[in-house]
Amino acid sequence: MSHKLTIEQVAEAFELLESGVYKENLCEIFSVSRNTLDRYLRGAKRYGFSFWTNEPSEEPRLDPRALLEENQMLRTKLSYLENMLRDLTKYAGEM
């Protein structure tokens, strides 16, 4: 299933809404309709990360900040793993 908004975009949308940005402006920023934006905001609140899977399941309601923090944590882990792989590849080439 293809999604019009990514987890990162929805987390950013929650952050912008909290800072006072109007939904109409968010629609322009992310190039989606108001209905699409509302559907993603509701889906993220209701289903959390599973909203982006093939079988969303209700989870405890997520605080939008938790969504953003989880996303940042995953980015940090990914960066660490990429660096480790680069170092291992370099080390293997030196053998």
Domain ranges of the chain: 7-94
The secondary structure of 14-54 as a DSSP string is HHHHHTT--HHHHHHHHT--HHHHHHHHHHHHHHGGGGGSS
- The pLDDT assigned to 25 comes to 96
Residues 6+ apart with CB under 8 A from 14: 41, 44, 64, 65, 67, 68
| Tokens representing residue 54 in the block | 């093939």
- The pLDDT assigned to 2 comes to 63
| Tokens representing residue 25 in the block | 């402006």
Q: What pTM does this model have?
A: 0.59
- Whether residue 18 is predicted with pLDDT greater than 70 in this model: the reply is yes
